[in-house]
């Protein structure tokens, strides 16, 4: 009996758990229904992807979409468009909005705003504060929540949990893996005068490597004492890679394309405050340490830390200039360029952007190109070269630190639950984004 599918993506080079090889992907009711030779099957639509690579849908597990409260620099709709234009099928959004996502009504409001308004699927972090530890165990189980986020060092927004007692209280009250911005707030305060007015080159001097190392050591001690799992975001130092390698039983690790691609002092000399982010981009020694950590398997996830500000805001004299830069739309092309330049394999890219999020966060039916999973696909042309330009960026802020960079490897199609959210640089249909589900919090009967 001939099989029938809604859509068949035919003739592509599939990269998944089974390795790399030519094949077809059959989609039915938004799920992957078959993988292999489907030349004899029928379908409502057959899409020829020969010459292209078909990857599991890329997830970006660290983005800041600024809504509510700062829509002049980004919003959920524009951020979702940027994601799918860049080949990203789903995002995890951070809690440092206004108001912060630190209680159930704020989380529910974000889910409401994003549903059928974002082109990609989504989840939201719950923000830890020094006052809400007792509700986080319930909050992390709400629909659309990917877990709890702790800011141990101050960054954009007013969420800050700097001291051991409150960090411990947060860890004690949750059961899922906790994501952490690991910079020591006390050292930041002590060294604040090192941030010289008008001199962004002092950003990594003020927020030096010891600020990150000290905090990560504190965090690991607290997590081990409490028997909890942590996810250390945007690691920037070679030293932390060695420390985290010795603690992989409880700690997972994220690196960003920016920290893997740019290096001080060149980036600050060339881009000024556009290169300013927290933790900072550091020198080439630390960048090399991140690549060693990636090659050794210490890094679990690549996240963009998409954190837009307007160019007017970024043009303020340092340190009044805010830290952060857009990134969700450039994650895939920047990392595919690294693949083409031999710094990692395409299989490792898939591990870092799909399989890694699946393992670390316990995604339900996402993060793998396998039968029974959501039909989330990132379809790329590994031979296509293109210049990244500000004019391509869909974020409200409309700029990228990679403006003018020519890369090889480009997203051609973004498929979200079987729907073409992006195809050949166009967004053909209405937004249908929905909250991601997680194995740890599936409702009974689901």
pLDDT in the model for residue 96:
96
* CATH 2.30.40.10 residue window(s) in the chain: 4-54+375-423
- Give CA–CA dist 58/53, Å, rounded: 13
d(CA 113, CA 117): 7
- Taking the C-alpha atoms of residue 436 and residue 409, their distance in angstroms, rounded to an integer, is 27
Give the pairing type, strands 406-416 and 377-387.
antiparallel
Q: How far is CA 376 from the centre of its chain?
A: 16
Query: Could you give the 3-state DSSP secondary structure of residue 385?
Result: strand
pLDDT of amino acid 444: 74
Fill in the DSSP letter of residue 148: E
CATH architecture designation of domain 57-361: Alpha-Beta Barrel (3.20)
Which CA distances in Å does 413 have to 9, 87, 253, 350, 356? 11, 7, 28, 16, 21
- Distances, alpha carbon 412 to alpha carbons 89, 179, 329, 379, in Å: 13, 31, 13, 6
pLDDT per residue, tens digit, the chain (446 aa), is 478 999 999 999 999 999 999 999 999 999 999 999 999 999 999 999 999 999 999 999 999 999 999 999 999 999 999 999 999 999 999 999 999 999 999 999 999 999 999 999 999 999 999 999 999 999 999 999 999 999 999 866 668 999 999 999 999 999 999 999 999 999 999 999 999 999 999 999 999 999 999 999 999 999 999 999 999 999 999 999 999 999 999 999 999 999 999 999 999 999 999 999 999 999 999 999 999 999 999 999 999 999 999 999 999 999 999 999 999 999 999 999 999 999 999 999 999 999 999 999 999 999 999 999 999 999 999 999 999 999 999 999 999 999 999 999 999 999 999 999 999 999 999 999 999 999 999 887 65
Architecture of the structural domain at 4-54+375-423: Roll (2.30)
Q: What is the pLDDT of residues 241-273, one digit of tens each?
A: 999 999 999 999 999 999 999 999 999 999 999
Mean pLDDT, the chain, whole residue set: 97
Per-residue tokens: 430 = 């209405």
Spatial contact of 315 and 321, defined as CB atoms under 8 Å apart: yes
What is the DSSP code string of 303-352? ---B----HHHHTSPTTSSPP-B--TTTHHHHHHHHHHTTSS-HHHHHII
Q: Which of 305, 351, 374, 376 is catalytic?
A: 305
* Residue 305 is a catalytic residue: yes
* Helices 284-295 & 238-245 angle (0-180, nearest 10): 30
Pairing of β 406-416 and β 31-36: unpaired
CB 67 within 8 A of CB 97: yes
Q: How far apart, in whole angstroms, are the C-alpha atoms of residue 23 and residue 425?
A: 24
What are the residues whose beta carbons fall under 8 Å from the beta carbon of 227, sequence distance 6 or more? none
| DSSP tag of 50 | T
Dihedrals phi, psi of 21, to nearest 5 degrees: -175, 160
- CB burial class (10 A; 0-12, 13-18, 19+) of residue 218? middle
Give the length of the chain. 446
Whole-structure pTM value? 0.97
Cα–Cα distance, 361 to 303 (Å, whole number) = 13
DSSP 264: B
Q: How far apart are CA 240 and CA 300, in angstroms?
A: 14
The Cα–Cα gap between 3 and 16 comes to 22
**Beta-strand (E) ranges in 49-118?**
53-56, 58-63, 88-93
Residues of the chain with CATH 3.20.20.140: 57-361
What whole-number distance in Å separates Cα of residue 364 and Cα of residue 351? 17
pLDDT of 52 reads 98
Going by C-alpha positions, the residue among 362, 102, 355, 91 that lies closest to residue 229 is 362
At residue 156, the pLDDT reads 60
């Amino acid at each position: 009996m001939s099989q029938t599918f809604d859509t068949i993506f035919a003739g592509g080079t599939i990269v998944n758990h089974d390795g790399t090889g030519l094949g077809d992907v059959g989609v039915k009711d938004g799920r992957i229904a078959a993988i292999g030779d489907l030349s004899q099957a029928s379908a409502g639509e057959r899409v020829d992807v020969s010459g292209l690579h078909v990857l599991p849908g890329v997830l970006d597990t660290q983005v800041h979409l600024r809504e509510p409260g700062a829509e002049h620099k980004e919003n959920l709709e524009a951020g979702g468009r940027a994601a799918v234009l860049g080949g990203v099928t789903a995002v995890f959004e951070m809690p440092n909005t206004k108001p912060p996502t630190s209680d159930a009504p704020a989380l529910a409001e974000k889910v409401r705003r994003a549903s059928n308004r974002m082109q990609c699927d989504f989840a939201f972090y719950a923000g830890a504060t020094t006052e809400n530890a007792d509700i986080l165990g319930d909050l992390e189980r709400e629909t659309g929540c990917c877990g709890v986020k702790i800011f141990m060092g101050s960054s954009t927004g007013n969420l800050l949990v700097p001291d051991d007692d409150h960090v411990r209280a947060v860890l004690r009250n949750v059961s899922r893996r906790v994501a952490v911005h690991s910079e020591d707030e006390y050292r930041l305060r002590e060294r604040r005068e090192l941030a010289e007015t008008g001199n962004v080159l002092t950003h990594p001097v003020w927020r030096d490597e010891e600020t990150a190392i000290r905090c990560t050591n504190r965090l690991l001690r607290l997590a081990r004492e409490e028997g909890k799992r942590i996810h250390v975001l945007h690691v920037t130092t070679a030293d932390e890679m060695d420390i985290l390698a010795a603690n992989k039983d409880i700690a997972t690790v994220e690196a960003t394309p920016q920290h893997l691609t740019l290096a001080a002092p060149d980036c600050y000399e060339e881009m000024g405050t556009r290169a300013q982010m927290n933790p900072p981009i550091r020198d080439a020694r630390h960048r090399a340490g991140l690549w060693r950590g990636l090659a050794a398997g210490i890094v679990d996830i690549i996240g963009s830390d998409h954190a837009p500000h307007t160019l007017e805001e970024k043009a303020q004299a340092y340190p009044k200039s805010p830290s952060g830069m857009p990134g969700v739309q450039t994650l895939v092309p920047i990392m595919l360029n690294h693949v083409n330049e031999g710094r990692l394999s395409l299989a490792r890219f898939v591990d870092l952007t799909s399989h890694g999020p699946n393992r670390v966060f316990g995604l339900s039916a996402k993060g793998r190109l396998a039968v029974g999973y959501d039909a989330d696909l990132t379809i790329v042309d590994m031979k296509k070269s293109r210049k990244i330009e500000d004019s391509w960026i869909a974020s409200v802020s409309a700029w990228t630190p990679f403006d003018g960079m020519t890369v090889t490897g480009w997203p051609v199609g973004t498929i979200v639950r079987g729907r073409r959210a992006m195809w050949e640089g166009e967004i053909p249909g209405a937004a249908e984004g929905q909250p991601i589900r997680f194995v740890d919090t599936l409702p009974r009967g689901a």
